[in-house]
Amino acid sequence: MTPRLRIGQGVDVHPLVSGRPLLLGGVQVPFDRGLDGHSDADVVAHAACDALLSAAGLGDLGQHFPPGDPRWAGASSLELCRQVAKLVAEAGWTVQSLTVTVLCDQPRLGPLVPAMRQALSGAFDLDPACLQVVPKSAEGLGFTGRGEGIAALAVCLLAGTEG
Ligand SMILES: [Zn+2]
């Protein structure tokens, strides 16, 4: 029997501002600014969630966790990841692979990749070998290169657990 496979893509962007902690992939990153936005504005976690939801045909993060909903104001995005993993599993899918590319010149994220993989794979209940986080410099170009914001792009592969 041919397994049912689905690819999903997620993209997210948040502006960098003063007076906020910087949370990426569930890890607090030492930096003089942080991302502004709904919940903790964890752009890596949000892109990953949108990739899973889109592959499963379940819409996007904003539909399930509306920005105006006080239940999710200031919430840890790892909690959103746990909720999304549950929705995807209940819909009959298992995650085969998930890769998140983070466009960020400063701070340098390389040393934090193992901690991000651990935090995200724990929240999504995945084998860490199935989950990659790839920091990428924009070489000073565009809004990520100028340090105005951070962008993340995620792709995932789901397999149907039945039928
Ligand atoms: Zn977001």
Determine if residue 18 is left, alpha or beta; phi over 0 gives left, psi from -120 to 50 gives alpha, anything else beta.
Answer: beta
pLDDT score at 72 = 79
User: How many A from CA of 1 to the centre of ligand 1?
Assistant: 38
pLDDT score at 75 = 80
The predicted model gives 128-150 an average pLDDT of: 97
Domains, the chain, with CATH or none: 3-161 (3.30.1330.50)
Give the gyration radius of the chain's Cα atoms: 15
User: How many A from CA of 144 to the centre of ligand 1?
Assistant: 15
User: How many A from CA of 13 to the centre of ligand 1?
Assistant: 6
User: How many A from CA of 137 to the centre of ligand 1?
Assistant: 20
What the block records as the tokens of 154 is: 């995620």
Surrounding ion ligand 1 within 5 Å at CB are 12, 46
The rounded mean pLDDT for the chain is: 95
User: How many A from CA of 128 to the centre of ligand 1?
Assistant: 22
| This prediction's pTM | 0.96
At 62, which helix (H) or strand (E)?
helix 61-64
- pLDDT band, residue 68 (cuts 50/70/90): confident
pLDDT score at 163 = 54
User: How many A from CA of 34 to the centre of ligand 1?
Assistant: 13
- Residue 69: which residues within 8 A CB-CB, separation 6 or more? none
- Could you report the per-residue pLDDT of 35-63, keeping only the tens digit for each? 998 789 999 999 999 999 999 999 999 99
- Could you report the per-residue pLDDT of 73-111, keeping only the tens digit for each? 778 999 999 999 999 999 999 999 999 999 999 999 999
- What totals of helices (H) and strands (E) does the chain contain, helices first? 5, 7
pLDDT score at 74 = 74
